[in-house]
Amino acid sequence: MAILNSGDVVSSATENGGGEFVDLDRLRRRKSRSDSNDNSPSDDLGPPDDVRDRIDSVVNDDAQGTANLAGDTEIRETGGGRGGGEGRGNAEATFTYRPSVPAHRRARESPLSSDAIFKQSHAGLFNLCVVVLIAVNSRLIIENLMKYGWLIRTDFWFSSRSLRDWPLFMCCISLSIFPLAAFTVEKLVLQKYISEPVVIFLHIIITMTEVLYPVYVTLRCDSAFLSGVTLMLLTCIVWLKLVSYAHTSYDIRSLANAADKANPEVSYYVSLKSLGYFMVAPTLCYQPSYPRSACIRKGWVARQFAKLVIFTGFMGFIIEQYINPIVRNSKHPLKGDLLYAIERVLKLSVPNLYVWLCMFYCFFHLWLNILAELLCFGDREFYKDWWNAKSVGDYWRMWNMPVHKWMVRHIYFPCLRSKIPKTLAIIIAFLVSAVFHELCIAVPCRLFKLWAFLGIMFQVPLVFITNYLQERFGSTVGNMIFWFIFCIFGQPMCVLLYYHDLMNRKGSMS
């Protein structure tokens, strides 16, 4: 199919490969005659009906005419037929504008201008970024291996020293005693053996003991850092679950015992089965029943577990091959040359970002979904699109949904119901989070410098600052500040601070 000249001429391909050449002016005159006499028979010498309709629509539509800045438009129709209904195969029509037809008919913005950039699809640029990211990081990996060799030790995951951490393993197993103690307390109050103040006192004793006991074991044993972090994370999870169990049971009991029941269907009962399911379920908020899925997809679980192994290994590779050498060759960021400290922080930020993203994907997506699938746990909103956070407050509300729901349910709204101002309630919630962040890092390191505590409390002013910047300059500025604070400055700085303080402590002890 070809355009014969620059005039209004159409070449219509036929089924047997031939061509019909039709003048557009003749088509217009013929259409006007057919419009005046709707009952007149169709002209067999004209082009197929579907081709003629498409030509008329293009001629009469300015928007279609300006769609191609080059001045020509190609239209293809498949399966068209003549007026008699017989199939004619693939009918194609191509026309071109005369040189006198205007090529510019309205004001338009460039795709990358500030007014139009967010109205465009950037899928191609995203693919380019992925390709560049893979190419650049592949080069860096090859360069690192050629320069330093294979730095991963054979005892990275397990060594003879790990056998010395058996007290921590026994402590992990013994944590199951505390949910049983909480269940016993609820059973006693259900049978009217103890009063409400005694119930509250016993739950306080149970939750405090559950935290102090692992801290004591970790500090007394010369354990590896990874073993200590695992024990303290498990301790914090059990503590949050115990608080939720006690608080929720108290609320249900209050509603059930109220004289003027707002909901007559509310009843208080104690079930060891529901408590046991809650303690292993991927949630921190207790309720007697949860939404459940229909079945367990064994193949899906196997695929997710394979991803978990792969990404965990990749995370270990980055730590041993990149982060450890950078940290060992650095100085204390608060002692020495400022430019050198900035260079170390920036060099550490990229591998640290990769490890943090792998950690998030492995735990919040893979592990929690595997656990939910095995337990048929239905509500799997473990995170939201925190990468689009417009402020620091949005990030904390979206990146860890189990903890966020716990904070809102058991800290924030109880404070508001107690007439505590909203700002103070936010500070209290961050204070609780800061204490547990410090426990999870300082206790395994046996180093109480409060860097993690101060880092979390520093988020409070950042919440209000980024909220102001979001309102003043829009969501893009707030999102960029969030990424800079967490991934470029905050986390690498904490890694350097804890490493050098830990090395200084070991040096002073030796």
Catalytic residue ranges: 437
Q: Are 450 and 438 in contact (CB under 8 A)?
A: yes
Q: Are 77 and 50 in contact (CB under 8 A)?
A: yes
Quote the CA–CA distance of 444 and 229 in Å, as a whole number. 6
SS3 helix, strand, coil % of the chain, rounded to 5? 65, 5, 30
Quote the CA–CA distance of 358 and 375 in Å, as a whole number. 24
Radius of gyration of the chain from its Cα atoms, rounded to whole angstroms: 34
Half-sphere exposure of 63 (CA within 13 A, CB side): 0
Half-sphere exposure of 344 (CA within 13 A, CB side): 25
DSSP 449-492: --HHHHHHHTHHHHHHHHHHHHHHH-HHHHHHHHHIIIIIIIHH
Distances (CA, A) of 419 to 141, 296, 425: 56, 45, 10
Bridge-based pairing of strands 72-78 and 19-23 is: unpaired
Half-sphere exposure of 265 (CA within 13 A, CB side): 0
